[in-house]
Amino acid sequence: MTDLTPDSSALAMAAAVAHKDISARELMQLHLARIAERNPELNAIVSLDEERALEGARAADEHLARQGSIGPLHGLPFAVKDTHAAAGWRTTYGSPLYADHVPDHDDLIVERIRRAGVVLLGKTNVPEFAAGSHTFNKVFGTTRNPHDPTRSAGGSSGGAAAALASGMVPLADGSDMGGSLRNPASFCGVVGLRPSLGRVPTWPTGNLWETTSVGGPMARSVDDVALLLSVIAGPDPRTPIALGDAGRLFAPPVTGSLAGLRVAFTPDLGGLIAVDHDVAAVTEEASRRFSRGGARVSSAWPDLSLGEDIFRTLRAWSFQASYGALLAEHPDSFKQSLADNIRLGAELTGADVARAYAERTQLVETMRLFFEEHDVLVLPVSQVPPFPADQEFPTEINGEPMGSYLDWMRSAYLITVTGCPAISVPAGTTPDGLPVGVQIVAPHGADRRLLEVASAFAAAT
């Protein structure tokens, strides 16, 4: 037994298991004890199965004892996001319509994580069908923020972020359409990476060409994020839009420098987004940290005004395609905001979707040209700090009303539609001690470079 704790790094845990300094069963027991301590209040882990988890850990120890080859995550406790199917494990998607659903297959991201050697212990909580950046549903209830349980943990990967921040798991998988990796990472003070489009392929899926949502890694450090990315990234013959780089290219250690880095900083995308004063203060200080590290920081931003129509159109279109028939069959089984968004999708025409894709093509070119002059773009992750957990979404920012449950997420979803990789890294806290992350964006395909910049920023922090 080593001096590992549930707050140690995933890299340290994996090395300790591989060197037999700790058994997978002992490591699992450490995490189950932490879950027993924190989860009743936070409600981050759902569908917990301690008996199966301990049996899986015992099997991992036996495999290692036989001197078999092991994966990079061998023996690490893991809880899969409840919107990712895991064969044999209850997967509800946060919906009462799937409250007893047990899939017979793994999603590709889960398949890869399992192959790397993890031991599953349960799932992480999500909002209904991952819609919205606050984690609550009728099946399991609300996930709460480890830094202040009266506050939201964000979403849709809110269970994952809260479990990480409280030491219930060392790594977590997430997904991100409008900020579902980045917002909860910011709210809970962990690291969340939305990779480049195609970096982490999705399968199975009803639409291979729907490219607003991506899977990605979450962890307590950039190195640990890189470790999980190295497992889940890489091409797959079932997904023709996958990028061709092998996952191992992203493996830690990740080192970088801020010296000479061309940083474009904007607190509000040129007035396109409203940002809470406390969040703005933390992000402004983050920009000064880049400068002190030797970066050349300038006030600059791309014109992302087209992103509003692009995101809302493609999101509604995607939701209607995925859930329209289900809503028609069960009209009273959806939360109102999601039902409204699905119905909005039904009103779209082919011309609307074509316009959104044409605008997105323009936006991709805007970003390509922008990154000829800048290495990274830095801006807020979330426009607000963690808000009260009994509130569905923020209704105002600095006194400015938010018209819908999406308005406060613009700082994330305007980046979504560019297709660029974006990472949330802890940057500081509000006067109330609530975490605030900074969002760093790099050109499409530059995921390794983005990890290096994030690592250098984290070191400076």
Count CB atoms within 10 A of the CB of residue 275: 23
Sign of the four-CA dihedral 172, 114, 89, 25: negative
Within 8 A by CB and 6+ apart from 341, the residues are 131, 315, 316, 319
Please state whether beta strands 214-219 and 45-46 pair in parallel, antiparallel, or not at all (unpaired). Answer: unpaired
Please state whether beta strands 136-137 and 77-81 pair in parallel, antiparallel, or not at all (unpaired). Answer: unpaired
Helix axes 24-42, 50-65, angle to 10 degrees: 160
Retrieve residue 348's tokens: 């779209």
Catalytic residue check, 20: no
Distance of alpha carbon 394 from alpha carbon 358, whole angstroms: 31
Identified catalytic residue from 152, 166, 180, 287: 180
Distance of alpha carbon 181 from alpha carbon 160, whole angstroms: 9
For residue 50, the one-letter residue type is: E
CB 175 within 8 A of CB 130: yes
Catalytic residue check, 133: no
Catalytic residue check, 81: yes
Identified catalytic residue from 9, 23, 81, 213: 81
For residue 261, the one-letter residue type is: L
Select from 262, 209, 213 the least CA-distant residue to 240: 209
Cα end-to-end distance, the chain, whole Å? 32
Please state whether beta strands 171-176 and 148-152 pair in parallel, antiparallel, or not at all (unpaired). Answer: unpaired
> Which parts of 76-145 are beta strand (E)?
77-81, 119-124, 136-137, 141-142, 144-145
Retrieve residue 315's tokens: 């999101």
* H helix or E strand, kind and range, residue 438: strand 435-441
Retrieve residue 233's tokens: 């990234």
Identified catalytic residue from 9, 95, 156, 382: 156
Distance of alpha carbon 410 from alpha carbon 202, whole angstroms: 24
Give catalytic residue positions: 81, 156, 180
